[in-house]
Amino acid sequence: LKLLQNVVDKPEEPKFRSIKATNATIKAKVLDCAGARAFLLAAGFAEDGDLLTLPSGDDAAQASCGAALAALKSHANDCSDAYFREVRDAKIMQAKADEAKLNEFGGFSRGIHNLRSSSSGKDAAPAASPPSPLPPPPLPAS
């Protein structure tokens, strides 16, 4: 994204219009990704030895780069939204499972703290009740 954004923001800067394919960071973060080189070529870059360059003064290449950036941002947003939906749905499913388990214990009044500590559900032994108080002392005889 940053490579294309720099070209769109500052088309007159020659340093943003060329990408060294041998640069270790560019290779690791961009070019080693499947389809990245083909994407850059479709965005208007041309291979020139170990460089990928965007022709200067070519309005069609500039427009193509802008369109590729917009498509890439849209795809990234769609993927981000899908991920957050998955996380939300997993949380909802967990909450429903917790609620169902609470209902097995008699509802929320039994407390959610019992839900996590019980491992065997209904068969779990109830908590021990406190010992009963001692009987009152006998009354003195008069």
Average pLDDT per run of 10 along the chain, which is 142 residues long? 87 87 90 90 89 84 87 92 95 90 70 53 52 62 56
Torsion of CA 29, 32, 35, 37, to 10 degrees: 80
What's the pTM?
Answer: 0.57
Contact 20, 26 (CB under 8 A): yes
* Residues 103, 122: Cα–Cα separation, whole Å: 11
Using an 8 Å Cβ cutoff, are 6 and 65 in contact? Answer: no
Q: Residue 104's pLDDT is what? A: 78
Residues 98, 84 contacting (CB under 8 angstroms): no
What per-residue confidence (pLDDT) applies to 12? 84
Strand partners, 20: 51
Question: Residue 139: its pLDDT value, please?
Answer: 67
CA distance 38 to 124: 60
Classify 107 in phi/psi space as left (phi over 0), alpha (psi -120 to 50) or beta.
left
Alpha carbons within 13 A on the beta-carbon side of 9 = 8
Model pLDDT for residues 89-105, shown as the tens digit of each residue: 999 999 998 888 887 77
